[in-house]
Amino acid sequence: MLKEGSIVRAVEITQKNPKSWIFQLEREGEKSTHLGRIDHDKIIGKKYGNVVSLIKGHVLLLKPSPRDFLRSFRLKTQIMYEDDCALACSVAGIGNGMKVGEAGTGSGALTSFLAWNVAPDGHVYSFDINEKHLRNAEQNIQMTGLQNIITFQIHDIRESIQVPALDAFFLDFSTPFEAIDSITPSLIGGGHLICFVPNWGQVEQTVEKINENEALELQQVFEVNRRDFAINPKKHIMRPKFRSIVYSGILIHTIKILF
C-alpha cells in the first residue's frame, strides 16, 4: 500500500519510448507531466502495479529499482553502468546487513546499488577526494530514500581509513592499485575487493599490486558485454540495435585471506 513518503516510478503507458518520473509521495503534492498532473493524494492508498488515468493518458505505478534511479541521476562524472554495478554486487555477494565501502563515489551510481542491496540493516561507506562530486552524489541519493544507510566522506583512499570491519570494498577510479594496501586491512577474512578500470594497462598494474599483497588472492578478471535488440512482434523482426554500449570497463575480483 502506497503511503506518504513512498517512492514511486510513474511510467507512461505507450508502445514507443515511454517516459517515466520518480518522486516521493507527499500530502497535497503533485507532479507535472506532458500527460497531465499527477495528484499525490489520489495515489496514496493505491498499490504498485496500479494504473492511474491522467488527462492525456495513463501511467503505471511501479517501485523504482537502482537502474531506474541511476537513469534519473544528475551526472557530473563518468559512471559505472547499471549492468556493471549489478554484476559487481552479485560477484561480491552483497546483501542485507553487510557493511561495504567504495572509493570514487562520482555521481553515486554504484553507491545506490550497494545501498539498495545492503538495506535495511547494512551500511555503505563512500569516499571521494572531490567535494563537488560528493555533494552531487548526496543529492542524487536523496531520491532513493536510502541516504540514512550511507556515510559520505571526503578522503584520499590511498591513506588509511577508519571504518568498521567491511565485508567488501569497491574501487572505481583509474588507479586502484594505489589504494590496494590501504584498503586491505579494513576487510574481514574472505572479504571481497572489486576494482573497476577502463583499460588493460591499469589491469596489469592492479593485478601486479594484488599479487604483491600476501593477504589477497586474485579470483577473476573479466569485462561485461551487452547487446540490445530492437523487436517488432507484428513483423516477426528481432535484430541488434545499431547504438549500444559494447564496452565499459574491466572488473577485477580478489578476496582477503587469513593465515
Residues of the chain with pLDDT under 50: none
Per the prediction, the chain carries an average pLDDT of 92
How many helices and strands (H and E) does the chain possess?
7, 15
pLDDT of residue 78: 67
- For the chain, domains (ranges, CATH) are 7-62 (3.10.330.20), 67-256 (3.40.50.150)
User: 27, 65 in Cβ contact below 8 A?
Assistant: no
Cell of 91: 560477484
Which region holds residue 82: left if phi is over 0, alpha if psi is between -120 and 50, else beta?
A: alpha
What's this model's pTM, rounded to 2 decimal places?
A: 0.85
